[in-house]
Amino acid sequence: MKSTAGFTLLELIIVMAIIGMMAMLVIPNIGSGQSAILKAQVREAMAVLRYARRTATIEGKQKTIILREGGDSSKKTNIDSGIWTSRGVKLQMGEADDDTSEQTNTSTKVTFFPEGGSSGGKIIFTFNKITAEIKINPLTGKIKSDIFENKDKDN
């Protein structure tokens, strides 16, 4: 009997199907690391802002939080002194401009009042063309967040 080395067509199809399934699992997660960094920073900033709002109400004193833009290896957040520092995420107060990439070392100050109000405003976070924003209601002091991709401003 003569034996031949090689793979059958069925074996090749099964291997290709397995490789295809593995690619479907891996490829969508490649770009999600950047948005995960941004989401983590936004959640952290929201937690600091909510803490300041609660502290102002409980202590009956005005509480101010400063959100600073920092580099990749910035100092850690110091909640007791009222300072939060981003790590590689750009910050901007108000509406987004076309030259946000030019801004450096920006900081935003938000004040919460004992009655529940705040100085209000919108804080925009940008990381590798992905944008998120935190909105602070000036009357109630409530904090909301939206995250969205903003690769092209013309769309």
Structural domain for 39, as ranges: 33-149
Nearest to 51 by CA among 92, 93, 90, 82: 82
What CA–CA distance (Å, rounded) separates 62 from 115? Answer: 9
Is residue 39 situated within a structural domain?
Answer: yes
The whole-model pTM stands at 0.67
Is residue 127 situated within a structural domain?
Answer: yes
Q: Which pLDDT does position 61 carry in this prediction?
A: 92
Is residue 70 situated within a structural domain?
Answer: yes
Is residue 83 situated within a structural domain?
Answer: yes
What CA–CA distance (Å, rounded) separates 88 from 7? Answer: 50
3-state helix, strand, coil in the chain (%, to 5): 35, 25, 40
> The CATH number of the domain where 80 resides is what?
3.55.40.10
Is residue 98 situated within a structural domain?
Answer: yes
Q: Which pLDDT does position 82 carry in this prediction?
A: 81
Total tally of structural domains belonging to the chain: 1
Is residue 3 situated within a structural domain?
Answer: no
Question: What tokens does 98 get?
Answer: 């076309």
Written as tens digits, the pLDDT of the chain (155 aa) is: 666 778 888 999 999 999 999 888 877 666 666 678 888 889 898 999 999 999 999 999 999 998 888 765 545 666 667 888 888 788 888 755 544 444 444 788 899 999 988 998 898 888 888 888 999 999 998 999 887 655 444 43
